[in-house]
Amino acid sequence: MASRESVPAIKKRAARVSAALAKLYPEARISLDFATPWQCLAATILSAQCTDERVNQVTPALFREFPDPRATADADPERIQKLIVATGFFRQKTKALISSARMIVERHGGEVPSEMEELIKLTGVGRKTANVILGHVYGKPGFVVDTHVRRLTRRLGFTKSIEPAEIETHLQALLPPSDWTPFSMRLILHGRQVCHARIPRCGDCAVAKDCPKIGVVRIAPAAK
């Protein structure tokens, strides 16, 4: 597992890590509630800087009143702001919801696009959100890179990059497409529950034997 580890050896290690995490987290889906592609997109936009639980508390009322892009495109921004205030950054998120809904209506006939290139043109949609949509709605393998995935893929020695697009490429080269979405979702869960940013629980980690950073992660001093 040193830096001279060969590509075949890294691939084998990635497969072992993927299998171990699959055992630990068999349910590899986002925990956001949604019934349509638009609702998945809207819920994912709302989940920025917010827990999925909190998003799931506000989306039933939001989707009752504004169930699809057409309804959202014509919405009164103040009404949406009121409905989503609990998710934080509610003014920016309202703008993103209305603007992306308008783009979907005007450019895509009201249907959420199913291509990465089109998804990332929508307001408030980056590669992470686009990959969630591709993987969870359209069954197209997408590697979701959030803050946890960025941290864990580096600690596990699967990439040296911090750029989401590069991390996607590096991980896609290590694993079969069918693993991309579930593996990234499992890394998020493992980052939340075990491999914490400041104090990783290496002693409780199911992939410790395959981790080059076991016990040697440097903890940054707390900000004053």
- For the chain, the straight-line distance linking the first and the last C-alpha, in angstroms and rounded, comes to 35
Active site residue 76: no
Q: Write down the least CB distance from residue 191 to ligand SF4, Å.
A: 8
Q: In whole angstroms, how close is the CB of 209 to ligand SF4 at the nearest point?
A: 8
Rounded Cα distance between 76 and 64, Å, is 15
CB 178 to ligand SF4: min, Å: 22
Comparing CB distances to ligand SF4, the nearer of 130 and 205 is 205
Q: Are 80 and 97 in contact (CB under 8 A)?
A: yes
User: Which residue is catalytic, options 68, 128, 179, 210?
Assistant: 128
Identified catalytic residue from 68, 93, 146, 179:
146
Q: Is 128 a catalytic residue?
A: yes
Cα–Cα distance measured from residue 80 to residue 63, given in angstroms and rounded to the nearest whole number: 10
Tokens 């509610």 — which residue?
90
Contact at 8 Å (CB) between 217 and 154? no
Cβ nearer to ligand SF4, comparing 14 with 207: 207
- 114/46 Cα distance (integer angstroms): 20
CB atoms inside a 10 Å sphere around CB 62: 23
Helix boundaries (H) for 48-137: 52-65, 69-73, 77-84, 90-108, 116-119, 127-136
Q: How far is the CB of 11 from ligand SF4 (least distance, A)?
A: 18
Question: In angstroms, what is the C-alpha Rg of the chain?
Answer: 19
Nearer to ligand SF4, 121 or 213 (CB): 213
Give the binding site for ligand SF4 (CB under 6 A). Answer: 155-156, 194-195, 200-202, 205, 207-208, 211, 213-214, 217
Of 165, 152, 150, 156, whose CA–CA distance to 195 is shortest?
152
CB nearer ligand SF4, residue 28 or residue 211? 211
Q: Which is nearer to ligand SF4, 127 or 151 (CB)?
A: 151
- What minimum distance in Å lies between the beta carbon of 195 and ligand SF4? 3
Just list the catalytic residues: 128, 146
